[in-house]
Amino acid sequence: MTAKWLSAGVGLLLVVASGCESSGAKDAPVPDSGTVEDGGPGGEDAGSDAGVDPLACEKQQGVCAGARRAWVDGAYEQECTGRSYGTDFEAAETRCDGLDNDCDGVTDPEVRSRVTSLEAGLFAGYASSLQTEHGVFMAVGSPDDVRILRLDSKLVLQATTRVPMPWVRTGGTPEALQRTQLVRTANGLALYYSTVARDAGAPLRAYLVPLDDLGAPIPLPEGGLVEYPLLDRPLDQESTRVATSPSGDRLVILWRSGSAQSPPMEVMGTVTDIEGQVLTAPKVLFKNVVNISPRLGSVIWLRNGEVLAAMVDVRHGNLGEAVRLRRFDANLDPIGEERSFETSAHFPATPLLVDLGAARGGPLESPVLVMRMAGAPDWIRRIQVVQNLFHGGSPEDWVATPTPHVAWFGAFADEGVLRLAWLSYFKDFSAPSPGGNINLGWSGRLGTLDEGHAQVERFAESEPLPLHGYSQWVLMEKLEPRRMGALYMTATTDGVSLDAVRYCTP
């Protein structure tokens, strides 16, 4: 048998001549109803046109390396599909598997998205998130209501509900929303929020609004919504912090009492059930110290039933800060010795407590403290982590941000692993603010770090993010196995936006 190639238009035609008659049963391709030929057994070539190799596919990176056109329906694919590239191929990557599935040279790429527009810049205390089996929920505060956004696992907005403030519902004296936080209770998702007077003065009040599975408040038959008052402090006017017990049936609420004009200034706490019944009357947790202004930090409820609280002592005269840490029992009586960590007066520590869970050890072994630090001689801004809080652990540098950038961070406990995300932002105040708005003109980068791995700058090849002066928060949620999501705020003269990134973890 002989064969030669003849020119046929823009292609080549293979002509085969045989010295003997044949039915063609061996060399002719056999229709396979669309299945991909596997080459056949023994000496058969399964329709490979007399031993001529199929042409290479268009994509040759990642899982497509070495791919050649598959034989489908009696011919080689003109344009390669998954039949040629194999089962790991995806037209667009959806899996976090350490492979370049779409063969573009990038393994497990991050995905940026615009979630929704925001009515105005969002303070850190106005934003919180929580994931349930029904989606990722985010609370977005505004002067007269709180929007509850429900997002899917791709951080795409599915629905929005609203919780109007009491003065809107009742026509009472308008107050100012001060803090919002989504919490998980024994009855499900709920919104915690606190208010003060419109002039930022007393009284300080706090409430809990149960939400249904889709994030909507529970209506009352006579109108209005189900809401439980938790705190009413006629003479106090500062922000609050809240945490739920492991069983979800109790709340611990912290606030700062007093003021410079009405001392003493002290950090106080109370415990209520989820319907507002007081279980532990308000008591002082951190006492006042002369020439010190206390600032709230963070509070969590440990798995052994203890409460762990962090606060900051700001020394007058620009003399630095001290992050103070203490355990309390369920009645808010102190346990053990207090710990403290010195930080710089020029760079507020913003301490955050995170419990890494049982995968990290016992209830006193799993909590960690995350905080910011900058000090002599280099004054590089850092994010530090303190582990072994009750066994002598000391601050460790985890993240460094370039001077003069300032980092605002979020943290997430993922089955014993600590994950961080932060916005590192800066503004050139010598340049005019866009549109004359002092809160515009900030720019920065989004970074992430997974414990045990190097920090990663997201969108490193893109221009810096246009940020708002209030872009001082990052929210983190786990979306799928090995996939995290981060929510943050951007802003231009066209408006303020809630943006997101989904990224794979090691």
Distances (CA, A) of 111 to 18, 137, 458, 471, 496: 57, 19, 10, 20, 20
> Is 500 contained in some domain?
yes
> What is the per-residue DSSP string for 31-100?
P-TTPPP---STT--SSSTTTPPPPBPS--SGGGTT-B--EETTEE-SS--HHHH-TT--SS----SSS-
* Residue 102, beta-bridge partner list: none
> Is 415 contained in some domain?
yes
Which of 177-191, 363-377, 411-425 has the least mean pLDDT?
363-377
Integer-rounded Cα radius of gyration of the chain: 30
Distance CA 426, CA 413 (A): 28
> Is 154 contained in some domain?
no
> Is 148 contained in some domain?
no
Q: Check pLDDT > 60 for residue 32.
A: no
Range of 504's domain? 409-449+461-506
Per the CB < 8 A criterion, the answer to whether 110 and 459 are in contact is: yes
Other Cβ atoms within 10 Å of 105 Cβ, number: 10
Q: What percent of the chain stands above pLDDT 90?
A: 81
pLDDT at 262: 84
> Is 216 contained in some domain?
no
Q: Check pLDDT > 50 for residue 14.
A: no
Mean pLDDT, residues 24-51 taken together: 41
Q: Looking at residue 211, what DSSP letter applies?
A: B
pLDDT band at 22 (very low <50, low <70, confident <90, very high): very low
Distances (CA, A) of 303 to 83, 120, 330, 419: 51, 38, 11, 20
Determine the distance from the C-alpha atom of residue 419 to the mean position of all C-alpha atoms in its chain, rounded to a whole number. Answer: 9
Other Cβ atoms within 10 Å of 428 Cβ, number: 11
pLDDT at 309: 99
> Is 361 contained in some domain?
no
Q: Check pLDDT > 50 for residue 28.
A: no
First to last CA, the chain: 56
Taking only the tens place, the pLDDT of each residue in 426-463 is 999 999 999 999 999 999 999 999 999 999 999 999 99
pLDDT at 288: 82
> Is 492 contained in some domain?
yes
pLDDT at 376: 72
Q: How many domains does the chain have?
A: 1
> Is 297 contained in some domain?
no
Other Cβ atoms within 10 Å of 163 Cβ, number: 23
> What's at 497, amino acid-wise?
S
Q: Which residues contact 343 (CB under 8 A, 6 or more apart)?
A: 312, 320, 321, 322, 323, 349, 371, 372, 373, 375
pLDDT at 51: 57
